[in-house]
Structure 1
Amino acid sequence: MMHDNHENNPRQSAAETLPTRASSQGDTTSFRTAPYNEKNPLNKGEPTTTAIETNSSDFDVYGNEESADIQYRTMVWWKAAALMLAETVSLGILSLPSVFAAVGMVAGCILVIGLGALATATGYMIGSFKIRYPHVHNMADAGEILAGPVGREVLGAAQVIFIVFLCGSHVLTGMIAFDTITSGASCSVVWAFLSAVICLILTIPRTLNGISYLSVASFISIIAAVMITMIGVGVTGHTGTVTVTSNLSFAKAFLAVTDIIFAYAGHVAFFTFISEMKRPQDFPKALYALQIADTTMYLIVGIVVYAFVGDTAVSPALGNTGTTLRKIAYGIALPTIVIAGVINGHVCAKLVFVRIFRRNGMKSRHMNSHTVTGWATWIGIVTAIWLLAFIIAEVIPFFNDLLGVISSLFASWFTYGISGIFWLHLTPRSERWTTTRQKMTTIFWISIILMGAFIMVGGLYASITSIVDGYTSGGFPAPFSCSSRALL
């Protein structure tokens, strides 16, 4: 059960209370605070306030949208699930066969199932934190609740950096796809730039509901692409050695683990997804749909492709087939490569946009109206994100190691560690050690925090070691090189 943890945060501030809409005048809507209704922690009824009777929507970051030109809270749970699937099951699934090749069949299955189960628990905790603090729109807002202004800046910056790097990995994969489809017919920098421009254009819609329909196409795209890959390797037959277990160095084994962590690293966008749902209480439905679908797909793709390809498995997984099928698979996978990147870019842009137009409890009219200032700011933010993503894709032109660095620094916390901190914040110290069950729960969430720290340190070591080895052996092309990145 969630309670207000005044023991840890005695001060009364916006981080401790829920923003309540009080009046609307001119350009802005002002908010004042109201205490948490402990009798109804899931916020299913009407919250208790100290000033006026309010609707539950008034507690939300977007305020009352009944007469707004742009309405954000429009998604039903299945649309949120589709977005989460498109964001999560994209690049992550493409690295799974090479992970199985690195750690072996048994360890690969255990890691996929175990990390997936933990990702479900931590995702549910993020949803619980959002229900407790409905005004939280992103990790920066959560950081302010946990650690004041410093926490807001640290987690906000981390979320932006993480997502920009995710966008960079989508530009990089798009470049590889175009190079493979065209057999390196043009300079790879051109393909990277084209990928970034396509993603930029599709990121322009202001609401996630407008992108949710694209996410359905994205999911169908990746399913079709991996099906072609599995059929292709099945027709070709066994081409490599399959092992039950593997004897690897710590660095190589942990680099493989970070790839699986990346495959579940959609949590960074959960606050924003929930903020644009009609009923945030339906988030668990979307979460369970996501976790059942992605864990099942990861197991099937990892097991089937590795069973036929064995230790010759490459990443991205679409490169494991013959030349013709490889081009077809990449062509079909292009929508998911692009759309998953678009979703990440939208979440990042929305964080910055809300930060600009929501200050000190004041919400500018530019958030919900078709104003020149609002649209110019939005398009400017989107352009900056994809320009940075393009530069990252060219400066860091390697796939697995990029995923390893990203997962180690950020996914370790956003997917796992920070949820343990959320639980400690929501649970008063006096209730953490009361019963045997509560003690076990407390130990579990503390272990999740320690797990996040361990993944970060171990993953960074493994990723940096791999990058150094790659540059030593001359395995990476120079930045902004026109050399083909096609998988032929």
Structure 2
Amino acid sequence: MSLGSSSSTNVYSIDDAGFKMFGRWGREILGAVFLLYWVFVTGSGLLSVSIALNAVSTHGTCTAVFVVVAAVVAICLNSIRTLGRITILAWVGLFSIIAAIFTVTIAVGVQDRPASAPQTGHWESDYKLFGTPTFLEASTAVSSLIFAFASVSLCFSFAAEMKEPKHYGRAVFSCLSLVMAIYLVIGIVVYYYCGSYVSSPAMGSAGPLMKKVAYGISIPGVMVSTILLSHLAAKYVFVRLLRGTPICHRTACATG
């Protein structure tokens, strides 16, 4: 099976779906937006790696150096031919991220108060079930929720590289159920204990020491996330330019 023809629908990426729904303009517009978005998200991933390295090293060197290091690692590993061969990295990244966020969650629960809260006198969390945000604050919150589920646009690419694409629905349902559960548990617990004193990023909410511990644990996770996202963005360009050519079928367009 080759990429771009994972099923009878002959869809590899969201641009193919756009073509089937809206014709050529749908393909071009959705393809351009897809590529631009994931390039920016990859940049965000590189920044996240630099933030983690800065936290662990207490700003041991210029942030630009850490970004370059992350970029070099991503370039070296995102050229692996198929998603199936990045599976081991994905598992490492998954357990790394989960371990890091649960470390922070447990830490804020057992500590007296979050790091950014007043450190003297009596303190209670000022969490609110219903707030009165400004339009800007509400828009930012809604955008964060949308961004958290923005990877839906990658569904086509993942399904296209599965040995049994018909099982994708079951896989994505299981994945999103787990993600939703983790989002809710982490978000509710951290906000309950920290209130308005949640740090941004939240990894710093439990103080300097736990910040280093959590970021240290998360480095493989954010690095693997960056590798996967840059891989998919690059694969979109590769398949789009070389689909139907002997090169595509002979090299990275072959799954396995």
- TM-score of the aligned structures, taking structure 2 as reference length: 0.89
Are 2:25 and 1:144 aligned?
no
Question: Would you tell me which structure has more helix in proportion to its own residues?
Answer: 2
Partner of 2:43: 168
Would you say the 8 A contact 2:204–2:210 is kept in 1? no
Q: Equivalents in 2 of 1:344, 1:270: separation in Å? A: 12
8 A contact 1:238–1:310 mirrored in 2: no
Correspondence 1:106-121 to 2 at 5 A: none
Partner of 2:248: 367
Is 1:280 aligned to residue 139 of structure 2? no
| Residue type of the alignment partner of 1:229 | V
Instruction: Choose the corresponding residue for 1:235, options 110, 115, 121.
Output: 110
Deviation of the 1:62 alpha carbon: 5.2
Match of residue 89 from structure 2: 214
Distance, in Å, in 1 between the alignment partners of 2:9 and 2:87 is: 22
Please give the alpha-carbon distance, in whole angstroms, between the structure 1 residues aligned to 2:17 and 2:161.
17
Give how far 1:61 is off.
Answer: 4.3
Q: 2:63 aligns with which of 143, 164, 188?
A: 188
Q: 1:327-476 to 2 correspondence within 5 Å?
A: 327-358=212-243, 363-370=244-251
Q: Is the 8 A contact 1:232 1:321 kept in 2?
A: yes
Partner of residue 100 from structure 2, selected from 219, 225, 228: 225
Measure the CA separation in 1 of the matches of 2:41 and 2:138: 22
Aligned 8 A contact 2:93 2:224 in 1: yes
CA distance in structure 1 between the aligned counterparts of 2:4 and 2:59, rounded to whole angstroms:
46
CA contact (8 A) 2:14 2:156 kept: yes
For structure 1, which runs of at least 5 residues remain unmatched after alignment? Answer: 1-56, 64-72, 74-130, 376-488
Q: Say which one has the larger Rg.
A: 1
- Asked if residue 305 in structure 1 is aligned to residue 190 in structure 2, the reply is yes
**Contact 2:4 2:239 (8 Å CA) reproduced:** no
Structure 2 counterpart of 1:156, from 5, 22, 31: 31
CA distance in 2, matches of 1:62, 1:176: 36
The C-alpha deviation readout for 1:271-320, integer Å capped at 9, x for no partner, is 11000111111011111111110000001100111111111112222111
Distance 1:61 1:166 in 2: 23
CA distance in 2, matches of 1:316, 1:292: 24
* Cα distance in structure 1, aligned partners of 2:111 and 2:242: 56
Which amino acid in 2 is paired with 1:253?
A: A
Letter in 1 for 2:86: I
Which residue, 192, 195, 202 being the options, matches 1:317?
202
1:135 partner SS: coil
Q: CA deviation at 1:147?
A: 2.1
Matched, 1:177 2:62: no
CA distance in 2, matches of 1:242, 1:208: 41
Contact 2:108 2:190 in 1 (8 A): yes
Secondary structure in 2 aligned to 1:350? helix
**Cα distance in 1, alignment partners of residues 231 and 36 from structure 2:** 14
In structure 1, what is the equivalent of residue 119 of structure 2? none
Contact 1:164 1:345 in 2 (8 A): yes
Relative contact order higher in (CA < 8 Å, ≥ 6 apart): 2
Q: Does structure 1 retain, via aligned residues, the 8 Å contact 2:41–2:229?
A: yes
Alignment match of 1:249 (pick from 131, 134, 138)? 134
- Counterparts of 1:189 and 1:161 in 2: how far apart (Å)? 22
Q: TM-score w.r.t. structure 1 length? A: 0.48
1:260 maps to which residue? 145
Q: How does 1:16-31 map to 2 (within 5 A)?
A: none
Q: Please tell me the residue identity of whatever aligns with 1:326.
A: K
Counterpart amino acid of residue 196 in structure 2: D
Partner SS for 2:81: coil
- 2: CA distance between counterparts of 1:355 and 1:62? 9
| 4+ runs deviating over 2 angstroms | 60-63, 237-240
2:109 is matched by which residue type in structure 1? G
Quote the Cα distance in structure 1 between the aligned partners of 2:231 and 2:67.
19
C-alpha separation between the residues in 1 aligned to 2:90 and 2:246? Answer: 29
Greater strand percent: which structure? 1
Q: How far apart, CA to CA, are the structure 2 residues paired with 1:181 and 1:191? A: 12
Distance 1:293 1:147 in 2: 33
Given the superposition, is the C-alpha separation of residues 62 and 261 from structure 1 closer, same or farther in structure 2, using an over 3 Å criterion?
closer
Residue in structure 2 matching 1:290, options 175, 181, 187? 175
| % identity of equivalent residues | 33
Partner SS state of residue 266, structure 1: helix
Equivalent residues of 1:144, 1:152 under 8 A apart: yes
Mapping 1:120-135, distance limit 5 Å = 134-135=9-10
Q: 3-state SS of the aligned residue for 2:150?
A: coil
Q: Which amino acid aligns with 2:247?
A: H
